[in-house]
């Protein structure tokens, strides 16, 4: 669950206003696309949710944590309730598929027994069974992104935040990935996908939030409300 009230973000270094008075609620179990052109504030929004940057003003609640008040060293608690996915996958090259996923469980202190039970289940869920012992560079882009999804899912997060997850994939793989997100969403996990791929967004009938120049300009079920239409 994400709740933003009058959120502003101004970057100190450049003085750039990335977000300006944003109000937004994403409820538990929702599937939401966050769209907008480059530099619109999408990535800032995502970084505010994961705690990578702090807002200049306003209120942000993420999975019951007050992101304006939380101490830097307590951010790990928020992140354990989130699964984060990036455009460039961010896998550890010298670890196998299995270890890349197991690593996320080790980090949060899961027992060896739990890891051995949970990792194969998640790999099967994302369709990577049989690839456990491969290294990331032996996999296709789509498969690598599935490893990243498995890693995001393995700790059973309340919400998945994906930043341009299909940016490096062809249309067919992108669609497959979205279907996988839909399947995960049906199991109860909130999904927030940041993207600028219009066709992909319009292929699903989901809530779409459009952001431009730091403002939310549309929020609804009627597909990609393009800034081109303005």
Rule CB under 8 A: which residues touch other proteins? 50, 52, 72-73, 75-80, 82, 84, 90, 92, 94, 103-104, 106-109, 111-112, 151, 155
Residues with Cβ within 8 Å of 117's Cβ and at least 6 positions away in sequence, in order, are none
Sheet strands (E) in 103-189 = 159-163
CB of 79 to other proteins, least distance (A): 4
CB of 221 to other proteins, least distance (A): 30
Sheet strands (E) in 76-198 = 82-85, 159-163, 190-195
> Can you tell me which residue has the tokens 């027994």?
113
DSSP 39: T
d(CA 220, CA 208): 6
d(CA 46, CA 53): 9
Choice between 27 and 76, CB closer to other proteins:
76
Choice between 85 and 200, CB closer to other proteins:
85
CB of 115 to other proteins, least distance (A): 10
CB of 117 to other proteins, least distance (A): 15
Choice between 84 and 97, CB closer to other proteins:
84
d(CA 86, CA 167): 9
Q: Are 202 and 223 in contact (CB under 8 A)?
A: yes
CB of 80 to other proteins, least distance (A): 4
Choice between 110 and 208, CB closer to other proteins:
110
Strands 2-10 vs 17-26: parallel, antiparallel or unpaired: antiparallel
Choice between 106 and 198, CB closer to other proteins:
106
């Amino acid at each position: 669950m994400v709740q933003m009230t009058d959120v502003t973000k101004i970057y100190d270094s450049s003085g750039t206003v990335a977000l300006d008075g944003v109000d937004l609620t994403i409820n538990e179990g929702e599937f939401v696309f966050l769209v907008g052109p480059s530099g619109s504030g999408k990535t800032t929004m995502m970084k505010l949710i994961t705690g990578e940057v702090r807002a200049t003003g306003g209120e942000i609640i993420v999975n019951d944590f007050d992101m304006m008040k939380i101490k830097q060293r307590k951010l790990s608690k928020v992140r354990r309730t989130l699964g984060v996915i990036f455009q460039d996958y961010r896998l550890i090259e010298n670890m196998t598929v299995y270890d890349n996923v197991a690593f996320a469980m080790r980090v949060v202190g899961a027992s060896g027994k739990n890891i051995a039970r949970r990792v194969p289940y998640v790999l099967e869920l994302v369709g990577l069974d049989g690839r456990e012992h491969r290294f990331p560079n032996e996999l296709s882009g789509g498969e690598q992104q599935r490893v990243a999804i498995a890693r995001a899912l393995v700790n059973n997060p309340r919400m998945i935040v994906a930043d341009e997850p299909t940016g490096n994939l062809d249309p067919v793989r992108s669609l497959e990935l979205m279907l996988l997100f839909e399947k995960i969403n049906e199991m109860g996990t909130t999904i927030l996908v940041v993207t600028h791929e219009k066709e992909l967004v319009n292929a699903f009938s989901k809530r779409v939030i459009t952001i431009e120049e730091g403002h939310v300009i549309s929020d609804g079920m009627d597909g990609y409300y393009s800034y081109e239409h303005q």
